[in-house]
Amino acid sequence: PHECQQVNHQHPMTFYFDGEPVRALAGDTVASALYASGRRVFSRSFKYHRPRGLLCCSGDCPNCIMEIDGRPNVRACRTSMHENLQAVSQHAWPSLDHDVLRVVESFDRFLPIGFYYKTLYKRRLLWKIAEPVIRRMAGLGRVRGGTPTHWPYEHRYEYTDVMVVGAGPAGMEAARHASAAGASVLLVESEQLGGHLRFETRPYIYEGAERPGYAVGRTIEQGLLANSNIRIFTGATALGSYEGGLVPILQGETLIHVRTRALVVATGCHQYPPVFRNNDLPGVMLSRAALRLIHLFAVRPGKRAVMMTANEEGYSAALESLRAGIDIAEVLDVRVEPCATRVASELRAAGVRITPGSAIREALGSRTVSGVRVGLVNSEMQPVAGSERIVTCDLVLLSTGWQGNAALLLQAGCQLELHRDIGHPVPTHLPPGVFAAGEVLGLCSLPEILQSGRIVGQAAAKSVEDANLDSSIWWNEIQQLCSQAGARSKDVTIPVAGQRKNFICLCEDVVENDLRQGVQEGFDEIETLKRYSTASMGPCQGRMCSRNSAEVCRLATRRDFGAVGMTTARPPICPVPLGALAGPEFHPVKRTSMHYKHVASADTIMDMGVWKRPFVYTTVSDEQDAVRNHAGLIDVSTLGKLVIKGKDAPLLLDKVYTHWFSRLEPGRMRYGVICDDAGSILDDGTVARIAADHYYITTSTGNVDFVEQWMKWWAVGTGWCVHVLNVTAGMAAVNVAGPKARDILARITDLDMSVFPYMACREATVAGVPALLLRVGFVGETGWEIHFPAEYGEYLWDLLLETGKDLRLRPFGVETQRLLRLEKKHIIVGQDTDALSNPYDSDMKWVVRLDKSDFIGRHALANLQSKPGPNRLIGFECIARACLLDGNAVVIAGKLAGRITSVRFSPQLKKYIGMAWVPTEYSTPGTAIGLHADGIVHPAVISDKPFYDPEGIRLK
């Protein structure tokens, strides 16, 4: 035992793997504890069900994925141990050690790349038979049903001047120097502070003295912990880089949204395995994985090992393994020139055979490694004939390839180029506010890594103070470091072609021959080859295979690396539980000022976003009858309500809405639609002009916060004198509608209701309460919205019901309102529209006024006016016995053609009515369509007019 071990031998634990108890130590991961117990097979592969063991021990490969405490697809090497932990293997039947589905490998000749595209399409019945079998055999993990008893997920929001991702030596140094320059710093690390120094015992020169790697890391760490200006998040993973400096972080079960002004990426690099036959066998392990097991968890990964290397770190790892008690049978150096370093001399002195110009051709064994077939290679990595021999071993250590963890940089907008001095792809052309340091740049010596951290930390802090900072100054210093660094490792190309078990992608069981065949079939671009072969599309997202995939593509197409490129790095960088995205189980609940009146009398209370609303009081048919023939009352306080004031208020509304509002006379109101730059509908509502510089706006219930921010954004951006005030919480509102509505309001208001025209607004007193009355017709009858201070809610609700009692005034709920508005073909934004819907395709061309010189979306809408979209929103009528529902499919000519957005049965019209999106060529009124429900296609007819009172006579 030594200081860098994180296990506590005085604190034993017990956990369960596939129902069997296993001993562990505090500080173990699930993977280290299983490996210490003697287990070598951790999972089965995706396609062929081959045994797979530990490879990277850092969460970069798919080999240790299992179900842990009920959660599928968890990486055992990144999961800390706790008492009575339950781990279950996945993707094996009947057991992990005896998986009968490995028989699939015997038929691999009949399962080439894209076999399902080539063999299962000619007969539809064949695919229906094959699909469930393929899905059952190929899935990863199983989602357990039922409602969780515990919901631990949380959301948090943070801000910082400088965010440093990666707490290795470069990241820690960058954080220290950014803080010293006066910036607030947030340091994010997916494991613990120190990076690769945590598990290294080889000596480094630091501050003039020779110290082991872990001691250097702890010295730097202590300086950070004493700095109150640096916040440290460990066990946290940055998920992606988004616009506006947004970097979400997943820390345990908490999703943290961080906004930063400067992003420093010091995420280091990872090893990836070379390609040889059976390179996926348990016992084949990256050298850093072995060092993690040895130094962090006190686990000896094998008894007799063969090291294949192309760099100096392989020799250091071999020496550290030798000191841990592992017999190093041989070090195979693919470089032809003999290594003459001090470490190599120590290995030779210890009797270790070092063979330059040699490589592994094949790993031997069935369940685990029992030996390797090795042979000489020339400087071009081509095998030398007649040089093969077998070396017995139970462990194969690999240190041949390095790749920077540059996903965050790529997402931020930088590019990768092959650096001629370093020998592998490094980031270039960093955008403003984004910085990189350390191994992600290809630097490998500790002095260079630390120096890059100092340069970048200071530059990031300066960029916070000066947004126009000349980035070429610090970038030139970094480039000078990279030029001095030299190649970290020889580029190990694919040595042997034509082998069936040269695995490229361990996630998807893609072999070298699969990629070569894909290129021959025309998929010779790396992005199309990726999609056809599925290489790099599994859990590792290309960490273990993207470089080898690109190399095979390069060799097969005879192009250089720059022409082939690398696949796109998309967020999130690591898997995120859906629960973490959803956030806390609890949500804020909003209640209107009349809520408890509804609770006392309504049959059902529903959730509408964050609001509680009455779904129905009695029955929809009774409430519909009241509104159509007498009068109805509904609480509409949930509508968004904004007050817009200022001398430039008319200019702002003309800018934001598609219609004219500067021409709207005081005392009048108008329906309006807000669009984005592409002409897509964002929100709708009414705009009432109270005075020349005073407007009162209603928005949809769920979009008021967005509309408020949208208005303020444009007000600030234009520099206009406008004030936007959200009064949703302070103002209650009710809608009185029906033939008797005028008579009821005449009894309690000081206005002359007989001269209150449609789409007019008036300020008045209602039963002594100051109010704003809006003459609207959302439900298709004569009606008024009354907006008044929320504290009078219950008083006015009771008074209205009492005043209209003799006129048969009744309250009605949200479901009845939905039916009434549907009878008038009034849309609901977000239900009848989506993110691509524009006013022309949504049958609302009348809301767009292109005679305005400018408004948001005008250019796009001007083009859309003469170019109809592929689909249109239509109304339909259907006499069906089945229960039609929102979301049912529209069928035309026997094919799926669209979807229903809203549908209800109208007791008054005695038929189903609704709206749906259909192809434009089938949107003509009178066209017959089919509606799929309960396995039957029901006939319907398209209608272009409101289903109720098409002339709008009852609104007047």
Residue 389 in any domain: the answer is yes
Are 380 and 411 found together in one domain?
no
pLDDT tens by residue, 906-946: 999 999 999 999 999 999 999 999 999 988 999 999 999 99
Q: What single string gives the DSSP state of each residue in 799-822?
A: HHHHHTGGGTEEE--HHHHHHHHH
With beta carbons less than 8 A apart as the criterion, state whether 813 and 615 touch.
yes
Average pLDDT over residues 455-460: 95
Are 615 and 744 found together in one domain?
yes
Are 172 and 56 found together in one domain?
no
Residue 455 in any domain: the answer is yes
pLDDT confidence band for 1 (50 / 70 / 90): low
Vertex 778 angle, CA 776 and 781, to 5°: 75
- Domain CATH for 30: 3.10.20.440
| Cα(949)–Cα(936) distance, integer angstroms | 31
pLDDT confidence band for 486 (50 / 70 / 90): low
Residue 679 in any domain: the answer is no
| Cα(940)–Cα(129) distance, integer angstroms | 34
Are 742 and 601 found together in one domain?
yes
Q: Which residues form the domain of 382?
A: 274-399
Please name the helix (run of DSSP H) or strand (run of DSSP E) that holds residue 263, with its range, or none.
strand 254-265
Does the pLDDT at position 565 exceed 90? no
Average pLDDT over residues 410-423: 79
Does the pLDDT at position 113 exceed 70? yes
The per-residue pLDDT for 32 is 97
The per-residue pLDDT for 287 is 96
> Of 452, 485, 518, which marks where a domain is finished?
485
Write down the mean pLDDT value for the chain: 91
pLDDT tens by residue, 174-225: 999 999 999 999 999 999 999 999 998 888 888 888 888 899 999 999 989 8
Does the pLDDT at position 102 exceed 80? yes
The per-residue pLDDT for 551 is 87
pLDDT tens by residue, 799-838: 999 999 999 999 999 999 999 999 999 999 999 999 999 9
| DSSP helix/strand/coil, 71 | strand
Residues 6+ apart with CB under 8 A from 375: 358, 359, 361, 383, 384, 387, 388, 389
pLDDT confidence band for 52 (50 / 70 / 90): very high
Are 392 and 533 found together in one domain?
no
Q: Which of 38-42, 113-117, 174-178, 699-703 has the lowest mean pLDDT?
A: 113-117
Q: Among candidates 256, 284, 257, 259, which has minimal Cα distance to 272?
A: 284
Where would I find the beta strands (DSSP E) of 30-78? 43-44, 51-52, 65-68, 71-75
> How far is C-alpha 799 from the chain's CA centre?
51
Please give the DSSP secondary-structure letter assigned to residue 294.
Answer: I
Give pTM, 2 decimals.
0.76
**What sign results for the dihedral spanned by CA atoms 748, 751, 756, 758?**
negative
Residues 6+ apart with CB under 8 A from 548: 272, 274, 275, 401, 494, 504
Are 446 and 559 found together in one domain?
no
- Domain CATH for 450: 3.50.50.60
With beta carbons less than 8 A apart as the criterion, state whether 319 and 312 touch.
no
The per-residue pLDDT for 491 is 64
Does the pLDDT at position 148 exceed 80? no
Residue 177 in any domain: the answer is yes
* Domain count of the fold of the chain: 6
383: left (phi over 0), alpha (psi -120 to 50) or beta: beta
The per-residue pLDDT for 488 is 62
- Domain CATH for 541: 1.10.10.1100
pLDDT-above-90 percentage for the chain:
73
With beta carbons less than 8 A apart as the criterion, state whether 887 and 839 touch.
no
| Cα(409)–Cα(426) distance, integer angstroms | 10
With beta carbons less than 8 A apart as the criterion, state whether 171 and 266 touch.
yes
Are 286 and 381 found together in one domain?
yes
CA-to-CA dists, residue 551 to 352, 516, 559, 560, 596, angstroms: 32, 11, 10, 9, 68
pLDDT confidence band for 475 (50 / 70 / 90): confident
Are 627 and 529 found together in one domain?
no
CA-to-CA dists, residue 480 to 189, 421, 733, 824, angstroms: 27, 11, 67, 71
Instruction: Cite the DSSP H helix spans in 204-311.
Output: 213-225, 287-291, 297
Residue 179 in any domain: the answer is yes
pLDDT confidence band for 676 (50 / 70 / 90): very high
Q: Which residue has the higher pLDDT, 708 or 584?
A: 708
pLDDT confidence band for 483 (50 / 70 / 90): confident
Are 351 and 432 found together in one domain?
no
Are 258 and 291 found together in one domain?
no
| Cα(407)–Cα(285) distance, integer angstroms | 24
Does the pLDDT at position 636 exceed 70? yes
Average pLDDT over residues 126-149: 76
The per-residue pLDDT for 567 is 83
| DSSP helix/strand/coil, 274 | coil
The per-residue pLDDT for 898 is 95
Are 41 and 168 found together in one domain?
no
pLDDT confidence band for 889 (50 / 70 / 90): very high
pLDDT tens by residue, 317-330: 999 999 999 999 99
Phi and psi angles of residue 657, each rounded to the nearest 5 degrees, phi first? -95, 155
Does the pLDDT at position 487 exceed 90? no
Residue 70 in any domain: the answer is yes
The per-residue pLDDT for 476 is 87
Residue 350 in any domain: the answer is yes
Residue 741 in any domain: the answer is yes
Q: What share of the chain is helix, strand, coil (3-state, %, to 5)?
A: 30, 30, 40
Structure tokens at 449: 């890594």
Average pLDDT over residues 373-394: 91
Are 166 and 248 found together in one domain?
yes
> Of 399, 426, 447, which marks where a domain is finished?
399
Does the pLDDT at position 294 exceed 90? yes
| DSSP helix/strand/coil, 581 | helix
> Of 342, 373, 399, which marks where a domain is finished?
399
pLDDT confidence band for 421 (50 / 70 / 90): low
| Cα(614)–Cα(533) distance, integer angstroms | 53
